[in-house]
Amino acid sequence: MHKVGIIGASGYTGYELIKILSRHRHANLEVLNSESLAGKQVSEAYPDFGGSAKFTNFSIDEINGMDLELAFLAVPHGVATKIVPRLKCRVIDLSADYRFRDSSEYERIYKVEHKDRGNQAAYGLPELFRGDIMHATLVANPGCYATGMILSSFPIKGISKYAVFDCKSGWSGAGKSSPYAKDHSLSKDNIIAYNLVNHRHRFEVRQFLPFPLSFTPHIIDTFQGMMITAHIILEGKASAEDVKGMFSEFYKNSRFVKIVDCVPDLHAVQKTNEIHIGGFEIDDNSQILIVSVLDNLLKGASGQAVQNMNIMLGFDEAEGLC
């Protein structure tokens, strides 16, 4: 068994990691660090959990003495850069701290000083960067919206002039401390637009797409899952079938990407590590509509993180995820 750990285990993404790693055939979860819940059973915080695991609060020195092969960091933005330089194992960071090639860009967007400019991370989107992830000691797990937007458009980046991403997500994406988690009436029977033009994931995505893009996120009345509707203005005369064929060819070896013949249904991907991409209709403005659905807590966060771990440690990519 391969020893792994989670630092920041009590949030939504931390709990999803616990559930996946608890059924992983090759990973032994040694560290479940939570400052607020240390010593308590996971089931006290999450009654649906069937195991007997307890939250821990080991120091970094103690963790380094355990000979972990890999640690997941599910900590607030700005914290990972203080932890990564001290860890003596491979790391997957689920925060935004290492997602930007240019740390000054990260500082500008997140308003937090980057404490670890010496470490460069592989961007943890396996469908694009599997080779980099395989050999990396540090992987930056993408943002949930960023995952959906990039996968929804990357195969046609060479024939795209401009994109508008209209995105809707369950309220779990805002985290356990958000107003929506504390007061469900805010999202009940409601749709809430926020960060209309300057959501942080827009800048993350711009690193990988060569065309201008706009992005507006919304919170909807569901706990987990998200839909990305991409309105992409195309260069030239590509047909909808041409575009769909480009996506099918690009993702033909990707276990968790499914190109579908219909408009994707959110229910089909909730509690899975899959993203379904469909729609593929062109209007008379040479604008193609591509609709994608994924689970923001899994393919958009913890499931993708375990997918990255599987690649890094040489396991089957789908281990623990199917």
Q: Active-site residue numbers? A: 144
C-alpha 245/C-alpha 51 separation (Å) is: 44
Please tell me the total number of residues recorded for the chain in this structure. 322
35 burial type by CB count under 10 A (0-12 exposed, 13-18 middle, 19+ buried): exposed
C-alpha 115/C-alpha 123 separation (Å) is: 19
C-alpha 71/C-alpha 62 separation (Å) is: 13
For β-strands 70-73 and 2-7, DSSP reports them as: parallel
C-alpha 145/C-alpha 148 separation (Å) is: 5
Closest CA to 302 of 2, 6, 3, 4: 6
C-alpha 54/C-alpha 138 separation (Å) is: 26
| Residue found by looking up tokens 């460069």 in the block | 120
